[in-house]
Amino acid sequence: MESFDTYQTPLSSRYASKEMAHLFSSANRFHTWRKLWLNLAIAEKELGLPISDEAIEQMKANLHLDAKQFEIAAAEEKKRRHDVMAHVHTFGQVAPAAAGIIHLGATSCYVTDNADLIFIREALTLLLQKLAVVIDRFSAFANQYRDLPTLGFTHFQPAQLTTVGKRTTLWLQELLWDLRNIKRARDDLGFRGVKGTTGTQASFLALFDGDHDKVEELDRRVTALSGFSYAYPVTSQTYSRKIDVDVLAPLASFGATAHKLATDLRLLANLKEVEEPFESTQIGSSAMAYKRNPMRSERICSLARHLMVLQQNALNTASVQWFERTLDDSANRRITLPEAFLTADIVLTTLQNVSEGLVVYPKVIARRISQELPFMATENIIMAIVKAGGDRQEAHEKIRVLSHEAAHQVKQLGLENDLIERVKNDPYFDPIKGQLDALLEPKSFIGRAPEQVDKFLAEWVRPALAEEELQGALGKASKAELHV
Residues that are catalytic: 155, 285
> Quick one: which H or E segment has residue 399?
helix 392-411
Q: Is 386 helix (H, G, I), strand (E, B) or coil?
A: helix
Q: Count CB atoms within 10 A of the CB of residue 53.
A: 9
Q: Are 204 and 125 in contact (CB under 8 A)?
A: no
Distance CA 175, CA 55 (A): 49
Distance CA 343, CA 116 (A): 17
Kindly provide the b/e burial profile for residues 144-165, where b requires at least 16 CB atoms within 10 angstroms of the residue's own CB: ebbbbbbbbbeeeebeebbbbb
Distance CA 285, CA 302 (A): 18
Backbone φ and ψ of 148, nearest 5°: -85, 110
Distance CA 214, CA 221 (A): 10
Half-sphere exposure of 188 (CA within 13 A, CB side): 12
Distance CA 103, CA 87 (A): 10
Residue 336: partners with Cβ closer than 8 Å, 6 or more residues away: 244, 248, 310, 313, 314, 317
Q: Count CB atoms within 10 A of the CB of residue 477.
A: 16
CA angle 450, 466, 483 (to 5 degrees): 85
Strand runs labelled E in 7-166 = 149-154, 157-163
CA angle 331, 337, 341 (to 5 degrees): 150
In one letter, which amino acid is 352? Answer: Q
Distance CA 252, CA 341 (A): 10
| Beta partners for residue 158, in sequence order | 153
In the DSSP assignment, the letter for residue 147 is T
How far does Cα 400 stand from its chain's mean position?
49
Distance CA 458, CA 24 (A): 37
